[in-house]
Amino acid sequence: MKAYASKSAGIVMGLDKNGKATLMTSAVDGQQWQASAIPQLMSHIDDWQETEWRDESTQLDALAQQHRTAQVINCCMALLEGQSADLEEEVLLLVEEFFQKGADSQAVISKLLIAPLKEPWRATRLARNSLSLNCSATAHLFDELGLFQPLLLRFSNTWLALPTWEFIEFDKTRSELWVSLAEERLNHVLLRCQSQKELKRQWQPLVFKETRPAARTAISAIGNQLAEALFPEQLAVTSALADEVQDLAADDEELLSRQSRPGRVRPDVQLERVLKQIKNISEAVAHGDDARAERYLRDLIESQSGGDTEHAVKSLCNIAKRCGDLFRADFERKCLEKALQLKPDDSWALIQWGDHLKRTGQFDDAIGAFRQAGIYGAQLVASTAIADVWRMRGEYEHALELYHAIPDWRDDRLIRMATADILRFMGHLTEATAEYHGILQRWPLEARAKAGLAEVHKRRGELGPALSLYDQVLLMRMDDDRSWYIFSLARCHLLKLSGRLEEAFRAADELVQEVPFYKDAQLQRASIQALLGDVQKSLLAVPELTPKAFGEWRQNYLRGLLLFKLGRYADARKLLLERLTSTFVRHEPLYQLVAAYAYLQGDQPDAGRAQNILIGLNNLEDVQAEHLRMVLALHAATLKQDQARAQELRRALSAAAKEAPPLQGTLLALARRDFKKVLELELKMFLAAA
Amino acid sequence: MGEEWQCRACATPLGAPNVRACSAPAEQDALRARARLAEQEADQRGCLPEAQAFCQEVSTTSGVVVALPPNIALNLVNDPRSIYQNYEQLVEGGARTPAQAESDRKRRAVGGLLFGTYAREIRYGVLSLDNKAPASYGELSFRLRDVTVQQRVTFTEANTYPFVEQHQLTPGKEIPKGYRAVWKNRDQLALAKLGRHLKKKQTRAEWARLLLQSEGDRSKDEFIEAHLFGPFSVDSVEAVEFTPQKATSSENKTLAKLVLAGFKKRSPSAAKKGAP
């Protein structure tokens, strides 16, 4: 059946077999109306496209996606013109929503690259503002748009400077040809080219579209001119090299034959090229430009793995490490899988692979990888890595045993650090403190040890000393960037706990902008935003998730808290209580606490179930969590009118309130049986602890 | 002459074809007669001053208002030339092209399917006293500047399709005379249609609601329909109002704000936010 569809309106108009209009259907909300009812609307739509209407459901979905894409383009153009701060924020969030619903970012960027911007700085500023709002897809779009501007300006100037007679062979005008580059997304592809050769290759589809030989020749010539205009230095280099070769030929024929052999590159030049490639890949990954990163990666591997794969594996491991530092576990995995494909017995690649598996919660597989690495020669590193897996599993005693079984472990900085951390996790704070001091005495520049001391202070509720230590840590040299980001986030958490919310938000925001894929930083920022009162925006940054990796439970935990804050109790309870028994949360005290909180909500709170959860919790990592546990236990005991238990808890909390005055408010509310107030205050404690 | 703007032989401008059709003496005479009858009826009820005041108000202050949903209105307000360098040279340069003509053909095809003869260049609006259009067609109401529409707008007493059904019009059957007006005699059309509803002590706001009756149900909307020959642009707009409905999505509210902001930039007096 023939039909007409409009992307701008998101409407399709069906025609019957006599060609008469029948129903109008909106692809956006499925609304339908008779064709007779809407002359007022239809006359203003100018982008009708004829189409064959066969599969209504699929085609409506496709039209809805095109409509969203069209809306994104319109919104972006309005943003590039400049809007007030409030409206800009609203529109950025809307654009992100459209992307989440499937708007085509490639189509958008191609359309926006239709001409160079008058004010390119707007794109950069919009990218930055988008990141502040956690709108990562939108940020990436504007970032890319900004990055392409200088090249697009040269490209378009070169295009406009081409003489008119170059275009006489075509059916299309110069403008139409330019517009078709955008519509076919070729402009986007052409702007990514890194060399003349690559641009000419990408230009080929345009050549083959022309049916007449004269037109093909003409368009090919245009492509060559553009390539030479955009990459003139390659032309110059080629000429210079030709001159050099000619000179040398006069002196030394053998040298000439060596130098003219294809593929011969000096080792230092090769190394420089590889380092540059690695840098480009890392940058692309950092920006979320996976397509570009994968392309560069393919080029790198092709150039390196011709004979000896060792260099290719090293490069891949190097890139994987950087991806890990940038919290891009997905790309890290790709690189490591490729490395192991090339060389399955590379012990270093296996160690990194095991580390990746450990961080993503695949503990058994991690141990397997480390054991293999041990077989292939990295015994010591493998042993410590396996011990660390047990530590992450919460099997502290076993982990300690494994660490202390390693010969000369007391002289190994990393094992000493691991031991100190485990003592802290086990709650042996005095021994942990002694161990950290011992490490610092021997290795004064060990930042992790200082951070460990800060965590001990935090656990004891001594926020001032903890902050001061983290300030020192962040000035120290780190083993890697990742450590710096983690410590920075820890400091941000302390600021939040200390009530310095504005400062904490700024710190979290800067971190998110620097490392957009650092999920914990995004969550921290969202929790601070909620404490500052902007709960709706926080919720947007925290979609529901099925945890597949270690640590991902925090997202649902925070989302549950935000839903409680918005009064969406049923949604919050469903989210938190249904996932209570999942592997990832069984051992997570904060998650268990919030589940207990969920049972205390509502018109018919279930104090019994809350108590059952709380009884199973002990040795919580820090004093804030411990306070929460006691407050919730008192709440449950008050509901159950268990006077003895309530009195005991009230005494303990009153003592704690001397160091943590906000607890007084909660105690008073409980004494008055003002449970609504109690729940509010408990929620605030949860958000602070998040 | 048919539906041409200008003479094919000498290129003399002929005026909009819809205006030419409604300006025929027979059409004007019939409308005048109907308006006179309505005036007499009002006089019999003691409402002659009200009828005259109503005509005066419509003649001097009413205008053409077009309703658009925010997502379509945003196309109107975005001006790529203000965002991009060399936009005209890169994108718009050159003579009219086969591709543009093809786009026009599709538009005519769609219009033809819906509206029959008057398809090609007609944009639809309403005659309004209060800058409002039926919100069921779009929450944004654009009042067009009189000077940009006077020479090319005509009015029919009712929405096109109900009008066709009411008068049992079929292809080839003549449209009854006296039910269409041009700009200068739109007040007569309004009186002919609504004269019997005029009462003593009615306010201007009540007249506005008589002229445009809309409760959100398109099938029950009552208005005098405006047919504008040719497109309009942001420069044709005098005022914009946003009237969100219960069902207006937050997405459309945001888009409407963008539209209002866009108009405000181009014409600070034009953009005005409607009732929340």
Nearest CA in chain B to A121: B83
How close does chain B come to A77, measured CA to CA in Å? 7
- Taking only residues 227 to 246 of chain B, the set having a beta carbon closer than 8 angstroms to any beta carbon of chain A reads none
User: B66: nearest CA in chain A?
Assistant: A40
A615-644 residues touching B, CB cutoff 8 A: none
Sequence-ordered alpha helix ranges (H) in A566-661: 569-578, 583-586, 589-599, 607-615, 623-639, 643-657
Type of residue numbered A221: A
Please name the residues in contact with A635: beta carbons below 8 A apart, sequence gap of 6 or more: A600, A607, A610, A670, A675, A678, A682
Is A162 at the interface with chain B, CB within 8 A? no
What contacts B160, CB < 8 A, 6 or more positions away? A39, B115, B124, B225
Q: How far apart are CA A490 and CA A484, in angstroms?
A: 10
pLDDT, residue A238, reads 42
Residue A527 CA to residue A505 CA, distance in Å, equals 9
Which residue of chain B comes nearest to A175, CA vs CA?
Answer: B91
Instruction: Name the token pair of B135.
Output: 């919100």
The two tokens of residue A560 are: 């549950």
Residue in chain A nearest B95 by alpha carbon: A173
| Chain B residues within an 8 Å CB radius of A153 | 85
Nearest CA of chain B to the CA of A284: how many Å?
26
For tokens 């005290």, the residue is: A589
Give the whole-angstrom CA distance, residue A135 versus residue A121.
19
Contact with chain A for residue B99, Cβ under 8 A: yes
Cα(A518)–Cα(A359) distance, integer angstroms: 13
Nearest to A42 among B75, B114, B219 (CB): B114
> Cα torsion for A24, A29, A31, A37, to the nearest 10°?
-60
| Contact at CB, B90 and A36, closer than 8 angstroms | no
Asked if residues A561 and A591 have their Cβ atoms less than 8 Å apart, the reply is no
Q: Is B265 on the interface with A (CB under 8 A)?
A: yes
Q: In whole angstroms, how large is the CA radius of gyration of chain A?
A: 31
Residue of B nearest to A43 (CA): B123
Which candidate in A38, A40, A151 is best for mutational testing of the B interface (most B CBs within 10 A)? Answer: A40
Residues in chain A: 690
Q: Which of B87, B99, B257 minimises the CB distance to A87? A: B257
Contact B136, B214 (CB under 8 A): yes
Q: Which residue has the higher pLDDT, A218 or B167?
A: A218
- Using the 8-state DSSP alphabet, how is residue A642 labeled? -
pLDDT greater than 90 at residue B57: yes
Q: How far apart are CA A58 and CA A193, in angstroms?
A: 35
Put simply, whether A23 touches B (Cβ < 8 Å) is: no
Q: Please tell me whether residue A280 adopts helix, strand or coil conformation.
A: helix
Is it the case that residue B112 has pLDDT exceeding 60? Answer: no
Indicate whether B80 pLDDT > 80.
yes
Q: Does any CB of chain B come closer than 8 Å to the CB of residue A50?
A: yes
For chain A, report the end-to-end CA distance as a whole number of angstroms. 56
Does residue A168 sit at the B interface (CB-CB below 8 Å)? no
Amino acid symbol at A321:
K
194-223 in B: which are within 8 Å (CB) of A?
Answer: 218-219
With an 8 Å Cβ cutoff, is B91 touching chain A?
yes
Nearest CA in chain B to A172: B97
Q: Do A118 and B254 touch (CB under 8 A)?
A: no
Q: Mark A55-68 as b/e (b = at least 16 C-beta within 10 Å).
A: eeeebbeebbbbbb
Helices A447-459 and A429-442 sit at what angle, rounded to 10 degrees?
160
Nearest to A4 among B98, B110, B262 (CB): B110
Using pLDDT thresholds of 50, 70 and 90, give the confidence band for residue B162: low
The pLDDT value recorded for residue A172 is 79
Q: Which of A87, A97, A117 sits opposite B258 (nearest CB)?
A: A87
Which of A523, A507, A516, A599 lies closest to A558, judged by CA?
A: A523
B249, A71 Cβ separation under 8 angstroms: no
Beta strands A48-52 and B63-68, pairing class: unpaired
- DSSP letters for A156-214: HHHHHHS-GGGGTTSSS-HHHHHHHHHHTTHHHHHHT--SHHHHHHHHHHHHHH--SHH
Contact A8 B75 (CB under 8 A): yes
Q: How far apart are CA B154 and CA B189, in angstroms?
A: 11
Give residue for tokens 């991902």.
A552
Task: Tell how far CA B98 is from the center of its chain.
Answer: 30
Q: Decide if A74 and B78 are in contact by the 8 Å CB cutoff.
A: yes
Identify whether the C-beta of residue B189 lies closer than 8 Å to the C-beta of residue B29. Answer: no
Residue B159 has pLDDT above 80, yes or no: no
Q: Shortest CA distance to A622 belongs to which of A649, A651, A590?
A: A590
- Which CA distances in Å does B65 have to A611, A642, B74, B122, B130? 66, 71, 17, 14, 9
Residue numbers of chain A with a pLDDT score lower than 50:
235-264
Contact A98/B250 with Cβ under 8 angstroms? Answer: no
Cβ contact A303:A492 at 8 Å:
no
| Euclidean distance between CA atoms A593 and B232, whole angstroms | 62
Q: Would you call A173 and B106 a contact, using CB atoms and an 8 Å cutoff?
A: no
Long-range residue pairs from A649-658, CB within 8 A, at least 24 positions apart, any chain: A653/A627, A656/A623, A656/A627, A656/A630
Global pTM reads 0.55
B70 touches chain A (CB under 8 A): no
Q: pLDDT: is A80 or B215 the higher one?
A: A80
Report yes or no: B263 and B234 within 8 Å, Cβ to Cβ. yes
Which tokens in the block code for residue B168?
Answer: 């049992």
CB atoms within 10 A of CB B209: 15
Residue A140: count of CB within 10 angstroms of its CB = 20
Residue A569 CB burial class (10 angstroms; 0-12, 13-18, ≥19):
middle
Q: Which of B83, B133, B134 sits opposite A81 (nearest CB)?
A: B83
Does B78 contact A at CB distance below 8 Å?
yes
Closest CA to A172 of A225, A209, A220, A221: A209
> Which of B71, B77, B91 has its CB closest to that of A8?
B71
Residue A368: both structure tokens together:
């397997």
User: DSSP assignment of B158-192, as one string?
Assistant: S-HHHHHHHTT--TTPPPPTTSEEEGGGHHHHHHH
SS3 content of chain A, % helix, strand, coil (to 5): 70, 5, 25
Is some CB atom of chain A closer than 8 A to the CB atom of B254? yes
Q: How many angstroms separate the CA of residue A98 from the nearest CA in chain B? A: 10
Burial class (CB in 10 A: 0-12, 13-18, 19+), B98: exposed
Interface contact B268, partner A, CB < 8 A: no
Contact B109 A87 (CB under 8 A): no
Q: State whether A115 and B111 contact (CB < 8 Å).
A: no
For B78, which of A13, A40, A77 is closest by C-beta distance?
Answer: A77
Cβ–Cβ gap A115/B84 under 8 Å? yes
Q: How large is the ipTM?
A: 0.84
Q: Which of residues 138-177 of B touch A (CB under 8 A)?
A: 138, 159-161
Residue A118, chain B, CB below 8 Å: the answer is yes
Residue B145: DSSP 8-state = P
Burial B7-35 (b: 16+ CB within 10 A, else e): eeeeeeebebbbbbebbeeebbebbeebb
The string of DSSP letters for B114-143 reads HHGGGGSSEEEEEEESSS---GGG-SEEEE
Mean pLDDT, residues B172-188: 86
Q: What does the pLDDT read at residue A261?
A: 42
- For residue A167, what is the nearest residue in chain B, using CA coordinates? B94
Model confidence at B118: pLDDT above 60: no
Look up residue B132 and give its amino acid: K
Interface-testing mutation among A7, A13, A24, A44, with chain B (most B C-beta atoms within 10 A): A44
The pair of three-digit structure tokens given for residue A354, joined into one six-digit string: 């095991």
B158 neighbourhood in chain A, CB within 8 Å: none
- Going from the C-alpha of A609 to that of each of A402, A612, A615, A644, A650, the distances in angstroms are 38, 5, 10, 19, 21
> A570 with A578: CB under 8 angstroms?
no
Q: Which two tokens stand for residue A553?
A: 């439970």
Select the residue of B113, B133, B219 nearest A37 (Cβ to Cβ): B219
The position carrying tokens 């919790």 is: A617
Q: Please report residues of B whose CB lies closer than 8 A to that of A21.
A: 113-114
A8 touches chain B (CB under 8 A): yes
Inter-residue contact B129 to B232 (CB < 8 Å): no
Q: What pLDDT is recorded for position B233?
A: 83
The highest-confidence range among A46-60, A122-136, B9-23, B104-118, by mean pLDDT, is A122-136
Residue A664 CA, chain-centre distance (Å), reads 40
Give the count of Cβ contacts less than 8 A between chain A and B. 173
Instruction: Report whether A645 contacts A584 (CB < 8 A).
Output: no
Find all residues with CB under 8 Å of A495, minimum gap 6, and list them. Answer: A467, A501, A503, A504, A507
Task: State whether residue B24 sits within 8 Å of chain A by CB.
Answer: no
